[in-house]
Amino acid sequence: MIVLEQMASSVINLGIAMATPLALASLGEVYSERAGMINLGIEGIMLMGAFLGFHFTYVTGNLLVGYLMGIAVGLALGLLLAFMTVTLRVNQVIAGMGIYFFGFGLSDFLYKTLYGKEYVTIHKSIQIPIPGLSGIPVLGEGLFRQYPMVYLSYVLIPLMWYLLYNSRWGLWLRSVGENPKAADTMGVNVFRVKYLALMLGSSLAGLAGAFLCLGITGVFFENLTFGMGFIAIGLVYFGKWDPLRAWAGTLIFGFTWSISTTLQEFFIKAGYPGMTYFLLMLPYIAVIVALIAVSRGARAPKFLGIPYSRE
């Protein structure tokens, strides 16, 4: 019985941790798309956030500096993407893919240039128990013995959900995505809202990448994100452009990943190492099935992906 409780706690703990970078990236994309802006560069931004977070943590020995650099590079790339798509009116899909390839290539280039083939690790974040709550059977160890960034997500996601639906800024954001001309007529600065939405979303993507490296792996390597940025975009559709629904989708991925990791150890000990390759696919299969099952009938913001210009 005790062994089963420990296993369940371990699965919950890892599942929540793995869901967190996806949750942060999805949250940022919800805000971007609510303003009518598609950011297909999330994967590249996450990779740059992961590398710079790793590099500056290694150089300074300070995790906070690493996280701040992840946010900073996300902010910079979000500003670049906003300039291309809002000011220059470049196609959002093309601009986003450009940011993706830029982040993917540059992060790998910088890592190989600075570290070569040397295997470098950092002292990653540690899990901190919350007194009292962490003592709850099964759930306590899973939910309340976590990384600081996970605790931040517990607060940030509900807060940003509230702001989206219950603040003037949230109303402006939603109106720009649905009818920018009407919002402009009412005095809303459409271009500013789009800029801020993209910069916010990209900053969260950079933070997500930094956490993936500084909190979970403790190392950086090529394509560290394994497609998480694109999954985050898909989970926005799963969540029907709602922060809490998207968060639920990230938990599906996180728990499936955690369960598959646990089963890998079981099959290896049982003499079936080939099963590990199938188990690696399970989180992605789960997300695809969830998207098919839930996102039918989802209505995107009316002006999603459509550039706006004053007449």
Q: What is the CA radius of gyration of the chain?
A: 20
Residue 243 belongs to some domain of the structure: yes
Dihedral sign of CA atoms 65, 163, 133, 14 in order: negative
pTM: 0.94
pLDDT tens for 62-103 read: 999 999 999 999 999 999 999 999 999 999 999 999 999 999
Q: Is residue 310 part of a domain?
A: no
- CATH code, 97: 1.10.3470
* 168 in any annotated domain: yes
Residues 234, 221, 72, 155: is their CA dihedral positive or negative? positive
Residue 303 lies in a domain: no
- Tens of pLDDT, residue by residue over 257-268, are 888 887 777 777
Q: Is residue 307 included in any domain, yes or no?
A: no
Neighbours of 273 (CB within 10 A): 11
Measured between alpha carbons, how far is residue 130 from residues 9, 111, 133, 136, 151 in Å? 15, 36, 6, 11, 10
In a domain, 142, yes or no: yes
What is the percentage of the chain residues whose pLDDT exceeds 70? Answer: 98
Q: In angstroms, how far is the first alpha carbon of the chain from the final one? A: 69
Amino acid 286: pLDDT: 85
Buried b (16+ CB within 10 A) or exposed e, 213-250: bbbbeeebeeebbeebbebbbbbbbbbbbbbebbbbbb
Q: Residue ranges of the alpha helices (H) in 216-242?
A: 228-238
Q: How far is CA 192 from the centre of its chain?
A: 23
Q: What is the pLDDT of residue 6?
A: 77
SS3 category, 146: strand
Structural contact between residues 133 and 146, judged by C-beta atoms closer than 8 angstroms: no
Residue 295: predicted pLDDT: 65
Which pLDDT value is given to residue 208? 98
Q: Is 274 helix (H, G, I), strand (E, B) or coil?
A: coil
Task: Tell me whether residue 233 is in a domain.
Answer: yes
Average pLDDT score over the chain: 92
Which residues, 6+ apart, have CB-to-CB distance to 104 below 8 Å?
43, 44, 47, 223
Q: What is the pLDDT of residue 3?
A: 63
The total number of structural domains in the chain stands at 1
The answer to whether residue 285 sits within a structural domain is: yes
Residues of the chain with pLDDT under 70: 1-3, 295, 311
Tell me what pLDDT residue 213 has. 95
Please give the residue range of the domain that contains residue 27. 2-294
